Structure 1
């Protein structure tokens, strides 16, 4: 995460700069890299203003707070940013399904291996999921925003159901059907 801190109409304080960087870096757990944050700290008469712009993978979020103390302005603006990022994440998760997306409903079977080596695995639960149409980049963002290990989606380029999964080495794997 790259954080740029600028001071306007006030002296540049290393302690204030470190405090702003530490607080703004908290939002990186909600966003996917690369993340770029621009923080502007300024003083106008008796108002202390913290203005932050965060950019991540095409998403741009702005927040501004004015208080009588610069540290509280930074705290409040970071709280606003976290709220906006969570709201954006929730929007992506809860977007309404179209008729074509509902037609792409899939059934996922979860298998369990019993303790006996000789017996066969059996279906323990069945779960229905929707394979939402999206690009591979959007699927990577969705997987980063979720706590899951894989994501089933319909690839907009091919209109086929694909599976994106996290690999143990930190990269991603993509399973595509052969036509």
Structure 2
């Protein structure tokens, strides 16, 4: 990179130039060698100010630092430029370019996960001027998955109000046409009759 120096109220020594070249060498490993660098070193009373500007093909990196010594200010400015270059490289490297889909006719479908339900909408598009519209399937996803709320109804038809034997409970459940019937035996033990899918009644003793 071409380096240009500007000194304001200060002298640019060989030591400062060597320090700048070392910092620029580290920066060029990140942004490349094409571009230019402008280093402005100035003195304002007791403040030493170093301003470094790096022009590359895609970016302009600028850093300005102050310190009581010029070497420290220049070091900090070059370090900031290097950090900026790293951030720009990471940001530029994360951009993924997707090839344009070549639609020559027919139906184009957007891939969707099988676990989600999609709504299909046909959209008429034109491939070029003068040609007929081509139907296209566009899948739209709901922002929130619909969840059915439980519907609970209170009922006392499945509960016996008096103690009864097992035989009486089976007959009562069949009479009330209940798949689940709760009762207490003559000893006060709570029990549940449950009709399984095969039609058999299962007795559950509640502890």
Name the structure, 1 or 2, with higher relative contact order (CA <8 Å, separation 6+): 1
Alignment partner of 1:3 is 2:3 = yes
When the two structures are superposed, what TM-score results if normalisation uses the length of structure 1? 0.51
Aligned to 1:43: 43
Aligned to 2:32: 32
Aligned to 2:82: 82
Aligned to 2:187: none
The equivalences for 1:158-177 within 5 A come to none
- 4+ residue segments displaced more than 3 Å: 100-104
Aligned partners of 2:40 and 2:51 also within 8 Å: yes
Aligned partners of 1:33 and 1:57 also within 8 Å: no
Q: Which has the higher helix share?
A: 1
- How many aligned residue pairs are there? 102
Q: Which has the higher strand share?
A: 1
Ranges in structure 1 where 5+ consecutive residues have no aligned partner: 105-179
When the two structures are superposed, what TM-score results if normalisation uses the length of structure 2? 0.45
Q: Which moved more, 1:6-15 or 1:79-88?
A: 6-15
The root-mean-square deviation of aligned C-alpha atoms, in Å, is: 2.1
SS at match of 1:30: helix
Higher Rg of the two aligned structures: 2
The equivalences for 1:34-73 within 5 A come to 34-73=34-73
SS at match of 1:17: helix
Deviation at 1:74, TM superposition (A): 1.0
